[in-house]
């Protein structure tokens, strides 16, 4: 991957932040959003916006008709989107998911180690109990009968 290429998660966050930057209007046109995220193609930006809408972080409405654009698409960030940005967005969610997975793997490894130690401990206790029983039988039958 080239060093300046953004990951899909970073691209999602960038488009969401572009929607959140509502200094001009509440709704932003598709063209305005595309200009703010210059490195993306229009089709990619459209796909990212659809993902944000599916996740509930953005809304879409069809704007007014103009001579250049018969049906202008307008987008805005939702309240859930604002909260999601405050929680550091998709990047933080991905890092949280990775940390939870690593924590789960560590816990599973520790559980396996504990189970192995418990098995060896139980086996050692069983061998000890059998040895003690055999010693007592030896003492009773061999030493007392002489």
As a whole number, mean pLDDT of residues 67-77 equals: 70
pLDDT band for position 130 (cuts 50, 70, 90):
very high
The candidate with the shortest Cα–Cα distance to 92, out of 6, 12, 4, is: 12
**Claim: this prediction has a pTM higher than 0.85:** no
Domain boundaries, the chain: 8-87, 90-146
In whole angstroms, what is the distance from residue 12 CA to residue 89 CA? Answer: 9
**Which pLDDT tens digit goes with each residue over 6-17?**
788 888 888 888
Whether domain 8-87 has CATH 3.30.70.1170: the reply is no
**Total count of residues recorded for the chain:** 146
């Amino acid at each position: 991957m080239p060093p300046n290429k953004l990951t899909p998660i970073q691209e999602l966050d960038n488009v969401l932040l572009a929607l959140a930057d509502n200094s001009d209007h509440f709704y932003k046109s598709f063209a305005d959003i595309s200009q703010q995220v210059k490195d993306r193609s229009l089709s990619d930006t459209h796909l990212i916006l659809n993902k944000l809408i599916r996740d509930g972080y953005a809304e879409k409405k069809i704007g007014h008709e103009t001579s250049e654009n018969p049906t202008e698409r307008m987008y805005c960030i939702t309240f859930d989107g604002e909260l999601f940005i405050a929680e550091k967005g998709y990047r933080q969610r991905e890092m949280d998911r990775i940390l939870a997975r690593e924590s789960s793997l560590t816990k599973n490894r520790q559980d396996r180690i504990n189970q192995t130690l418990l098995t060896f401990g139980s086996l050692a206790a069983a061998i000890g109990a059998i040895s003690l029983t055999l010693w007592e039988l030896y003492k009773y039958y061999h030493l007392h009968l002489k």
